[in-house]
Amino acid sequence: MIIRADNRPFRDNPSVLSDDGSYRPVSFWQETVSVQPADALTDDTRCDVVVIGGGYTGLSTAYELKRAAPDLDVVVLERAVVGHGASGRNGGFLMPLLGWNLCQTVRSLGRERAAQGYGVMYDAIDHTRAIIRAEGIDCDLEDCGYLLLATCDKRREHVREEAELGRELGFDYEYLEGDALRAHIDSDAFSAGCFDPRPSVVNPAKLARGLKDAVEGRGARVFERTAVSAIDDGDPVIVTTEPGGTVHARAAVVAVNGYGDALGFMKRRILPVHTYIVLTEPLRDEALAAIGWQRRTSLETARNFIHYFRLTADN
């Protein structure tokens, strides 16, 4: 079977490189990293595993393959540069959210399966932090916890239910009101909160670029500015790229997330969803005190149309 990519949706995208050859960032996070794009694949090469997509999924796959089998020859192909897609421009939260919230997940899956699912998510947080620390990735990792906030009486009841359910399932959730809530955020806008101490925040673009360095440090080859035009699912798998190169591999991993539509994968099941971020100037301590942000806890409202808040390394 040959899968041909429909790259027409990307034809009008601006180049990731400026006229002088420097990287053109598309988010604040990407402005905080120094990007020297890797070479594109322009010739033929062979490997054991080719990974299509240079986001968190693709890089983590390559990392784990090389860690488990150091002699394995792994190639990663990225259309733009590592971290240019969703992995480099998200909120930067390491959190266990599965579904809309814990209460909804329990209603959908039942208590046992929901607890198992959230357990896997907490394992993923711990695993990510372990890789960051083991590889010395400078990505502004901060173990600050996460606080779900109620903005009205109805949402306060939901927040209370979330906290109680989390404790029943064995998680370290804490229901906060009054002084306990004001210790995190002193604002009349919020009446209650559910605090989870385990989540962290990172600079997502720094994490993506750090994972690339870790992958290359273990011997994998990463090609950027290399768009896949076709995949021949034979033996070997043959991946053709638009710069004119090809990869012959024993196996392929497709790790393109919301871009899977271009390759026809799960075309009717995946839809990219955007959130929008407003960035302030760095806040001084007196400004944070005036706002009432007593700790650096990450904040999110328990509304259907959510607002979320977090501090960057420079506030």
| Residue pLDDT, tens place only, 163-188 | 999 999 999 999 999 999 999 999 99
Question: What are 16-62's pLDDT values in tens digits?
Answer: 888 888 899 988 999 999 999 999 999 999 999 999 999 999 999 99
Contact 199/145 with Cβ under 8 angstroms? yes
Residue predicted with more confidence, 227 or 269: 227
- pLDDT above 90 covers what percent of the chain? 79
Question: What are 107-166's pLDDT values in tens digits?
Answer: 999 999 999 999 999 999 999 999 999 999 999 999 999 999 999 999 999 999 999 999
Residue 105: band (very low, low, confident or very high) from pLDDT cuts 50, 70, 90: very high
Residue 275 vs residues 19, 86, 91, 159, 270: alpha-carbon distances, Å: 30, 11, 9, 23, 16
Question: What are 217-263's pLDDT values in tens digits?
Answer: 999 999 999 999 999 999 999 999 988 999 999 999 999 987 887 77
Instruction: Examine the pLDDT at 5 and tell me if it is beyond 90.
Output: no
Average of per-residue pLDDT values in the chain: 93
Buried b (16+ CB within 10 A) or exposed e, 21-41: eebebbbebbebbebebbebb
What pLDDT does 160 receive? 97
Arithmetic mean of pLDDT, 192-212: 98
Instruction: Examine the pLDDT at 269 and tell me if it is beyond 90.
Output: no
Closest CA to 41 of 213, 212, 224: 224
| 106 C-beta neighbours (distance < 10 Å), count | 21
Arithmetic mean of pLDDT, 92-120: 94
Instruction: Examine the pLDDT at 272 and tell me if it is beyond 80.
Output: no
Backbone angles phi, psi at 304, to 5 degrees: -65, -40
